[in-house]
Amino acid sequence: MAPKKSKHEFAPKKIKLKKDSKMKLKKKKKTSSSSNAVAAAGGSENRGVDSDWWNSFWEKNSPISGSMVPQDEEEGFKYFFRVSKKTFEYICSLVREDLISRPPSGLINIEGRLLSVEKQVAIALRRLASGESQVTWRFIEAMEERGKHHLKWPEDDNLQKIKSEFESSFNLPNCCGAIDATHIVMTLPAVQTSDDWCDQIRNYSMLVQAIVDHKSRFLDLVTGWPGGMTIPKLLKFSGFYKLCESGERLNGNPRSISDGSEIREFIVGGSNYPLLPWLITPYNENEDEMSGFNRVHESTRSVAVRAFSQLKGSWRILNKVMWRPDKKKLPSIIVVCCLLHNIIIDCGDYIKPEVSLSCHHDLGYVERWCKQVEPLGRKMRQNLASYLENSN
């Protein structure tokens, strides 16, 4: 049985939250007396910029002989927190007011003062990167709200740049992105287990679907759906699918090609997705004459595969088996990791190659060939294949 309501996803203009999440955001305006007391106890350490925290941290964690920690201090910073110092400062600026006005309980130093914003962000990033413990919920709430402008469908000018880059790199005109999905594996208490959450390899998991650009930057995201759901159904329950089917998304001017046919705006997806006019999948393995098209298609789709490998490699909390996570909060953690991924790119920072997963991001899961083929999708794919053949 399909779940009854839509899940966590980013809309073009605003984030759609489940009812429970909306209630929590409304409560955010109220500050309890205990929170006021903690804020008062924090004093100046929490309100000012803490410029000394890193020196103290590095002194305690600097590399020793045989250590994996880089000798260079800047590289060491990225080793621990996945971001450069400049990007770290930007993240702090996004969440500072929220972490000051609604300080998390429990983050108190030995002197009884609330930890500085810098230390709170460092703890959150370190926990997300290592996956060794639960991340501070206050940081997740603040980051999801304050950083949401880093994950949205591009405006026309930016979309034109994306299409131009895809064409330049892969020779596919009017391509707007690549789509893929991955599983976040978890254990669940016996009272919460059900066939909905049990996936094809008998793990309990939550699905994440994303569309990315040529830089493996996330443009659209939906998560919160149980791992037992099929990929075609996940797509059809997404807001992106509804926008495309109603003509509100991927509706730019078609591109005319030499034989008189047209190529509309589209994205590429794997064989586990349906072939639609706006979602182009590969030919099946029995159509050898189309192997050239499939090579180009797979190369283009690899930007989405790489994005998930970088995401799960950078923020290992998503690549470990989560121990009984709150299924209502897990989507927010996933969203924040995707926001951090985009912020790294937007700040001109970079993801170290050795951080990405060395294996496929969904290891053990097999792409099940989707048999749904729409006639206009087949025609669109043929137009693309003809264009590639004639342009060689």
369 within 8 A of 287, measured Cβ to Cβ: no
Write the pLDDT tens digit of every residue in 354-383: 999 999 999 989 999 999 999 999 999 999
Reported as a single tens digit per residue, the pLDDT across 156-201 is: 999 999 999 999 999 999 999 999 999 999 988 876 667 889 999 9
Confidence of residue 32 (pLDDT cuts 50, 70, 90): very low
Query: 44 pLDDT band (50/70/90 cuts)?
Result: very low
Q: Which carries the bigger pLDDT value, residue 126 or residue 62?
A: 126
Instruction: Tell me the two tokens of residue 190.
Output: 């016996």
Q: Is 248 helix (H, G, I), strand (E, B) or coil?
A: coil
Helices (H) and strands (E) in the chain, counts: 13, 10
Q: How confident is the model at residue 38 (pLDDT cuts 50, 70, 90)?
A: very low
Structure confidence at residue 135 (pLDDT):
80
Q: Are strands 8-10 and 218-226 parallel, antiparallel or unpaired?
A: antiparallel
Which residue in 191, 276, 286, 177 sits closest to 236, CA to CA?
A: 276
Q: Measured between alpha carbons, how far is 71 from 14 in angstroms, rounded to an integer?
A: 43
Q: Percent of the chain, pLDDT > 90?
A: 69
Residue 44 CB burial class (10 angstroms; 0-12, 13-18, ≥19): exposed
Give CA–CA dist 310/361, Å, rounded.
9
Q: Are 119 and 58 in contact (CB under 8 A)?
A: no
Q: Which residue has the tokens 């290592």?
A: 130
Q: Where are the domains of the chain?
A: 69-150+327-349, 151-319+357-390
